Structure 1
Amino acid sequence: MRFKTQSSPPPPQVDLIPMLTVMMGVLAFFVVVTTTLSQETLVDIQLPAEDQADADVPFPADPFIVELVGENEVLLNGQPTDLDTLATQMEAYLSRNPNDTVFLLPHQDLPYEQVMQFLGDMRRIGGNRVSLAIEAQP
Protein backbone atom coordinates (compact mmCIF):
# COMPACT_ATOMS: atom_id res chain seq x y z
CA MET A 1 0.00 0.00 0.00
CA ARG A 2 1.27 3.28 -0.98
CA PHE A 3 0.90 6.21 1.36
CA LYS A 4 0.67 9.65 0.08
CA THR A 5 3.23 11.82 1.59
CA GLN A 6 2.03 15.15 2.52
CA SER A 7 4.38 17.73 1.36
CA SER A 8 4.34 20.92 3.36
CA PRO A 9 3.73 24.03 1.32
CA PRO A 10 6.66 26.36 0.93
CA PRO A 11 6.80 29.19 3.49
CA PRO A 12 5.12 32.40 2.37
CA GLN A 13 7.33 34.99 0.77
CA VAL A 14 7.34 38.47 2.29
CA ASP A 15 8.05 41.17 -0.22
CA LEU A 16 9.65 44.12 1.60
CA ILE A 17 9.96 46.46 -1.38
CA PRO A 18 6.42 47.98 -1.17
CA MET A 19 6.73 48.48 2.58
CA LEU A 20 10.11 50.20 2.21
CA THR A 21 8.71 52.42 -0.53
CA VAL A 22 5.88 53.58 1.72
CA MET A 23 8.23 54.15 4.66
CA MET A 24 10.60 56.25 2.52
CA GLY A 25 7.64 58.32 1.30
CA VAL A 26 6.51 58.99 4.87
CA LEU A 27 10.06 59.88 5.91
CA ALA A 28 10.42 62.29 2.99
CA PHE A 29 7.11 63.94 3.94
CA PHE A 30 8.23 64.56 7.52
CA VAL A 31 11.62 65.89 6.42
CA VAL A 32 9.97 68.40 4.06
CA VAL A 33 7.41 69.51 6.67
CA THR A 34 10.08 69.92 9.35
CA THR A 35 12.34 72.04 7.16
CA THR A 36 9.52 74.35 6.06
CA LEU A 37 8.30 74.87 9.63
CA SER A 38 11.76 75.68 10.92
CA GLN A 39 12.23 78.50 8.39
CA GLU A 40 9.64 80.83 9.94
CA THR A 41 10.90 84.28 10.75
CA LEU A 42 10.53 85.25 14.35
CA VAL A 43 10.21 88.65 15.96
CA ASP A 44 12.69 89.16 18.78
CA ILE A 45 10.81 90.35 21.85
CA GLN A 46 12.63 91.67 24.89
CA LEU A 47 10.54 91.78 28.03
CA PRO A 48 11.49 94.13 30.86
CA ALA A 49 13.03 92.68 34.00
CA GLU A 50 10.79 92.24 37.03
CA ASP A 51 12.30 95.18 38.89
CA GLN A 52 11.77 97.42 35.85
CA ALA A 53 8.17 96.32 35.23
CA ASP A 54 6.76 98.50 37.99
CA ALA A 55 9.15 101.42 37.49
CA ASP A 56 7.86 104.55 35.83
CA VAL A 57 9.37 104.83 32.38
CA PRO A 58 9.63 108.42 31.18
CA PHE A 59 7.22 109.03 28.32
CA PRO A 60 8.62 111.17 25.48
CA ALA A 61 7.33 114.73 25.10
CA ASP A 62 6.34 114.13 21.46
CA PRO A 63 5.54 110.39 21.24
CA PHE A 64 5.42 108.56 17.93
CA ILE A 65 2.42 106.27 18.30
CA VAL A 66 1.38 104.06 15.40
CA GLU A 67 -2.09 102.56 15.77
CA LEU A 68 -2.82 99.49 13.66
CA VAL A 69 -6.58 99.64 13.15
CA GLY A 70 -7.07 97.10 10.37
CA GLU A 71 -5.26 95.49 7.50
CA ASN A 72 -3.22 98.33 5.95
CA GLU A 73 -5.18 100.85 8.03
CA VAL A 74 -2.73 102.84 10.11
CA LEU A 75 -3.08 105.92 12.30
CA LEU A 76 -0.04 108.01 13.19
CA ASN A 77 -0.68 109.97 16.40
CA GLY A 78 -4.42 109.73 15.67
CA GLN A 79 -4.22 110.81 11.99
CA PRO A 80 -4.71 108.34 9.10
CA THR A 81 -1.61 107.72 6.99
CA ASP A 82 -0.36 105.26 4.38
CA LEU A 83 2.47 102.79 4.88
CA ASP A 84 5.04 104.58 2.70
CA THR A 85 4.52 107.90 4.48
CA LEU A 86 4.69 106.11 7.83
CA ALA A 87 8.09 104.61 6.99
CA THR A 88 9.46 108.00 5.93
CA GLN A 89 8.12 109.78 9.01
CA MET A 90 9.37 107.02 11.28
CA GLU A 91 12.91 107.26 9.91
CA ALA A 92 12.84 111.05 10.32
CA TYR A 93 11.53 110.80 13.91
CA LEU A 94 14.16 108.26 14.94
CA SER A 95 16.97 110.35 13.44
CA ARG A 96 15.72 113.51 15.25
CA ASN A 97 15.21 111.72 18.58
CA PRO A 98 17.99 109.18 19.08
CA ASN A 99 16.81 108.10 22.55
CA ASP A 100 13.06 107.85 21.90
CA THR A 101 10.99 104.82 20.99
CA VAL A 102 8.29 104.23 18.39
CA PHE A 103 5.18 102.64 19.87
CA LEU A 104 2.89 100.24 18.00
CA LEU A 105 -0.62 100.10 19.43
CA PRO A 106 -2.63 97.39 17.63
CA HIS A 107 -6.40 97.07 17.79
CA GLN A 108 -7.26 94.16 20.05
CA ASP A 109 -9.47 92.42 17.45
CA LEU A 110 -6.65 92.04 14.91
CA PRO A 111 -5.14 88.59 14.35
CA TYR A 112 -1.86 87.94 16.14
CA GLU A 113 -0.06 87.05 12.90
CA GLN A 114 -0.96 90.39 11.31
CA VAL A 115 0.27 92.35 14.34
CA MET A 116 3.56 90.43 14.50
CA GLN A 117 4.11 90.86 10.74
CA PHE A 118 3.56 94.62 11.01
CA LEU A 119 5.80 94.82 14.10
CA GLY A 120 8.51 92.96 12.19
CA ASP A 121 8.19 95.42 9.28
CA MET A 122 8.52 98.34 11.69
CA ARG A 123 11.55 96.75 13.35
CA ARG A 124 13.29 96.57 9.97
CA ILE A 125 13.15 100.36 9.94
CA GLY A 126 13.65 101.19 13.62
CA GLY A 127 15.47 98.18 15.00
CA ASN A 128 15.16 97.70 18.74
CA ARG A 129 13.67 101.18 19.16
CA VAL A 130 10.20 99.89 18.19
CA SER A 131 7.99 98.74 21.05
CA LEU A 132 4.66 96.94 21.16
CA ALA A 133 2.26 98.86 23.39
CA ILE A 134 -1.03 97.93 25.00
CA GLU A 135 -3.81 100.04 26.40
CA ALA A 136 -4.43 99.56 30.09
CA GLN A 137 -7.95 98.41 30.82
CA PRO A 138 -9.67 100.33 33.64
Structure 2
Amino acid sequence: MEFRSQSNNSELPEVNLVPMLDVLMSVLTFFIILSMSLTGQREEGVILPQVGRAGEGEQVAATQPEKLVIAITEQQDFLVQNQLLSEQQVLQEIQQFLQNNQQGEIIVKADKTLAYQDVYQLLQKMGEIGGNRVSLAIQ
Protein backbone atom coordinates (compact mmCIF):
# COMPACT_ATOMS: atom_id res chain seq x y z
CA MET A 1 0.00 0.00 0.00
CA GLU A 2 1.18 3.26 -0.95
CA PHE A 3 0.21 6.45 0.85
CA ARG A 4 -0.02 9.46 -1.27
CA SER A 5 0.25 12.90 0.05
CA GLN A 6 -3.15 14.52 -0.06
CA SER A 7 -1.76 18.03 0.20
CA ASN A 8 -1.74 18.38 -3.58
CA ASN A 9 -5.43 17.62 -3.85
CA SER A 10 -6.59 19.55 -0.79
CA GLU A 11 -6.26 23.10 -2.04
CA LEU A 12 -8.49 25.74 -0.56
CA PRO A 13 -11.57 26.31 -2.68
CA GLU A 14 -11.61 29.57 -4.55
CA VAL A 15 -14.44 31.91 -3.65
CA ASN A 16 -15.76 34.00 -6.50
CA LEU A 17 -17.11 37.27 -5.06
CA VAL A 18 -18.37 38.75 -8.33
CA PRO A 19 -21.81 37.05 -8.29
CA MET A 20 -22.35 38.01 -4.65
CA LEU A 21 -21.45 41.64 -5.40
CA ASP A 22 -23.81 41.62 -8.39
CA VAL A 23 -26.68 40.53 -6.15
CA LEU A 24 -25.83 43.15 -3.50
CA MET A 25 -25.66 45.92 -6.11
CA SER A 26 -29.02 44.82 -7.54
CA VAL A 27 -30.65 44.92 -4.09
CA LEU A 28 -29.10 48.31 -3.35
CA THR A 29 -30.32 49.70 -6.68
CA PHE A 30 -33.81 48.38 -5.97
CA PHE A 31 -33.99 50.15 -2.59
CA ILE A 32 -32.61 53.41 -4.00
CA ILE A 33 -35.22 53.47 -6.75
CA LEU A 34 -37.97 52.53 -4.29
CA SER A 35 -37.03 55.29 -1.84
CA MET A 36 -36.87 57.88 -4.61
CA SER A 37 -40.31 56.94 -5.89
CA LEU A 38 -41.89 57.05 -2.42
CA THR A 39 -40.55 60.50 -1.53
CA GLY A 40 -41.77 62.06 -4.75
CA GLN A 41 -45.40 60.91 -4.56
CA ARG A 42 -48.00 63.51 -5.43
CA GLU A 43 -51.72 63.28 -5.11
CA GLU A 44 -53.73 64.09 -8.21
CA GLY A 45 -56.00 67.10 -7.93
CA VAL A 46 -54.38 68.49 -4.76
CA ILE A 47 -52.74 71.89 -4.99
CA LEU A 48 -50.64 72.63 -1.94
CA PRO A 49 -50.32 76.19 -0.61
CA GLN A 50 -47.01 77.98 -0.97
CA VAL A 51 -45.04 79.30 1.94
CA GLY A 52 -45.10 83.08 1.99
CA ARG A 53 -41.95 85.15 2.07
CA ALA A 54 -41.27 88.18 4.22
CA GLY A 55 -42.35 91.33 2.47
CA GLU A 56 -45.32 89.81 0.65
CA GLY A 57 -47.87 91.31 3.01
CA GLU A 58 -47.88 88.41 5.45
CA GLN A 59 -47.08 89.01 9.08
CA VAL A 60 -44.04 86.90 9.76
CA ALA A 61 -43.12 88.88 12.88
CA ALA A 62 -46.33 87.80 14.60
CA THR A 63 -44.90 84.32 15.12
CA GLN A 64 -41.68 85.58 16.68
CA PRO A 65 -41.75 86.77 20.28
CA GLU A 66 -41.08 90.39 21.11
CA LYS A 67 -37.59 91.21 22.37
CA LEU A 68 -36.32 93.65 24.94
CA VAL A 69 -32.60 94.38 24.67
CA ILE A 70 -30.78 95.57 27.77
CA ALA A 71 -27.18 96.74 27.38
CA ILE A 72 -24.78 97.06 30.29
CA THR A 73 -21.76 99.25 29.62
CA GLU A 74 -18.29 98.95 31.11
CA GLN A 75 -19.21 101.64 33.66
CA GLN A 76 -22.25 99.51 34.71
CA ASP A 77 -24.71 101.88 33.04
CA PHE A 78 -27.94 100.38 31.70
CA LEU A 79 -29.17 101.18 28.21
CA VAL A 80 -32.65 100.24 26.99
CA GLN A 81 -33.49 101.36 23.45
CA ASN A 82 -30.45 103.68 23.57
CA GLN A 83 -31.77 105.43 26.70
CA LEU A 84 -29.67 105.59 29.84
CA LEU A 85 -31.69 104.20 32.76
CA SER A 86 -31.03 103.44 36.40
CA GLU A 87 -31.16 99.86 37.64
CA GLN A 88 -34.57 100.46 39.23
CA GLN A 89 -35.92 101.91 35.96
CA VAL A 90 -34.58 98.90 34.07
CA LEU A 91 -36.34 96.53 36.44
CA GLN A 92 -39.59 98.50 36.01
CA GLU A 93 -39.13 98.37 32.23
CA ILE A 94 -38.63 94.59 32.40
CA GLN A 95 -41.71 94.15 34.57
CA GLN A 96 -43.84 96.24 32.21
CA PHE A 97 -42.46 94.39 29.19
CA LEU A 98 -43.27 91.01 30.71
CA GLN A 99 -46.81 92.11 31.57
CA ASN A 100 -47.43 93.20 27.98
CA ASN A 101 -45.53 90.32 26.32
CA GLN A 102 -45.85 87.09 28.30
CA GLN A 103 -43.92 85.15 25.63
CA GLY A 104 -41.36 87.94 25.13
CA GLU A 105 -37.60 87.47 25.29
CA ILE A 106 -35.10 89.59 27.16
CA ILE A 107 -31.61 89.88 25.72
CA VAL A 108 -28.79 91.12 27.94
CA LYS A 109 -25.77 92.55 26.17
CA ALA A 110 -23.08 93.01 28.79
CA ASP A 111 -19.67 94.51 28.10
CA LYS A 112 -16.97 91.84 28.10
CA THR A 113 -14.91 93.67 30.72
CA LEU A 114 -17.74 93.48 33.29
CA ALA A 115 -17.38 91.01 36.11
CA TYR A 116 -19.82 88.15 35.81
CA GLN A 117 -21.01 88.89 39.34
CA ASP A 118 -22.48 92.21 38.11
CA VAL A 119 -24.44 90.47 35.37
CA TYR A 120 -25.49 87.73 37.77
CA GLN A 121 -26.99 90.29 40.16
CA LEU A 122 -29.17 91.66 37.36
CA LEU A 123 -30.22 88.14 36.40
CA GLN A 124 -31.21 87.40 40.00
CA LYS A 125 -33.36 90.52 40.19
CA MET A 126 -34.95 89.63 36.86
CA GLY A 127 -35.73 86.16 38.23
CA GLU A 128 -37.50 87.75 41.20
CA ILE A 129 -39.66 89.75 38.78
CA GLY A 130 -40.48 86.65 36.77
CA GLY A 131 -38.30 86.96 33.70
CA ASN A 132 -37.55 83.41 32.63
CA ARG A 133 -36.70 83.98 28.95
CA VAL A 134 -33.31 85.65 29.17
CA SER A 135 -30.53 85.35 26.64
CA LEU A 136 -26.98 86.58 27.08
CA ALA A 137 -25.64 88.00 23.84
CA ILE A 138 -22.15 87.06 22.71
CA GLN A 139 -20.13 87.87 19.64
Instruction: With the length of structure 1 as denominator, give the TM-score of the two structures.
Output: 0.48
